[in-house]
Amino acid sequence: MLEHISILTLSCPNRPGIVAAVSTLLFEAGCNILDAQQFDDTETGRFFMRVVFNRLEGSQPHEAIAAAVDGLAERFAMQASLREVGRKKRVMLLVSKFDHCLADLLYRWRIGELPMEITGIVSNHAREHIASTDLGTLPFHHMPVTRQSKMEQEAEIWRLIQETKTDLVVLARYMQILSDGFSAKLAGRCINIHHSFLPGFKGAKPYHQAHERGVKLIGATAHYVTPDLDEGPIIEQDVERISHRDTPEDLVRKGRDIERRVLARAVLNHLEDRVLLNGQKTVVFTD
């Protein structure tokens, strides 16, 4: 009965009574709380909450609950978001010819691991360059880009995002730096996978940088895109042990495994409304 399950996320200045107000609202609306997590950021005085609930028999309809949440949001100066779980997020995947993250996301989606609707796949490379991945009947858009055509290409992607009502853009090793303006438009709904353990090895060729420096672990970082390159709010990171025997090519190979699992976890957490923005950081209510 997924259609009767909803997720409420909210953040607001902290003050006594928020949990009581939220839980009482839901109780009185005929709902049962299935899961709730909260976080007080004592540094900034901001409060964050994620509540999963279902509507019991005889409950108020979704619209009435949404209206009540709006009232609550106004009272507590909340940023609140309410979503019925049955309404999956709509996701566009941007990719270069490195398709290991794309292949991984598509497989997870096909077997039901990632609750999303894919609105399309966009690449600056032609479809034949993504040879190892089965794209099925998913809409594929070849949108080549040069330094000169960047603005036009981004405008084209933006049109596609709007036409397809895309909620989330995933840069699955897209290898292109988005313009400041495009990054700003996608704030909080564009996830990138960077192939290093940020803040180490920003920029280009991080595995070669890591090899040069002689680190003993390599990593990957999934973060929201912001105009500040490789500085966006981090959602998920992971690492693996390497040794002096590993060439830069070995690091690229081992890194693929880290990249794909870090990106998949970040996307899943976003799809399940587990990630809340907290300035330049994230609150992740993990499973």
Residues that bind a copy of itself (CB under 8 A): 15-20, 23-24, 26-27, 31-43, 56, 100, 103, 107, 110-111, 113, 131-134, 197-201, 213-217, 219, 233-239, 243-247, 250, 253, 257, 261, 278, 280-284, 286-287
Minimum CB–partner distance for residue 2 and a copy of itself (Å) = 14
Distance CA 86, CA 90 (A): 12
Minimum CB–partner distance for residue 24 and a copy of itself (Å) = 5
Nearest in space to 173 (alpha carbons), one of 263, 244, 247: 263
The CA–CA distances, whole Å, from 136 to 90, 98, 107, 167 equal 18, 18, 11, 22
Q: Are 22 and 51 within 8 A, CB to CB?
A: yes
Pairing of strands 217-224, 234-241: antiparallel
Minimum CB–partner distance for residue 107 and a copy of itself (Å) = 5
Minimum CB–partner distance for residue 266 and a copy of itself (Å) = 10
Query: Among the options 99, 104, 167, 230, which is catalytic?
Result: 230
Nearer to a copy of itself, 83 or 256 (CB): 256
Nearer to a copy of itself, 17 or 71 (CB): 17
Nearer to a copy of itself, 145 or 215 (CB): 215
Cis peptide before 139 (omega within 30 of 0): no
Nearer to a copy of itself, 120 or 255 (CB): 255
DSSP state letter for 3: G
| Catalytic-residue membership of 35 | no
Pairing of strands 140-142, 116-123: parallel
Give the amino acid at 49.
M
Residues designated as active site: 230
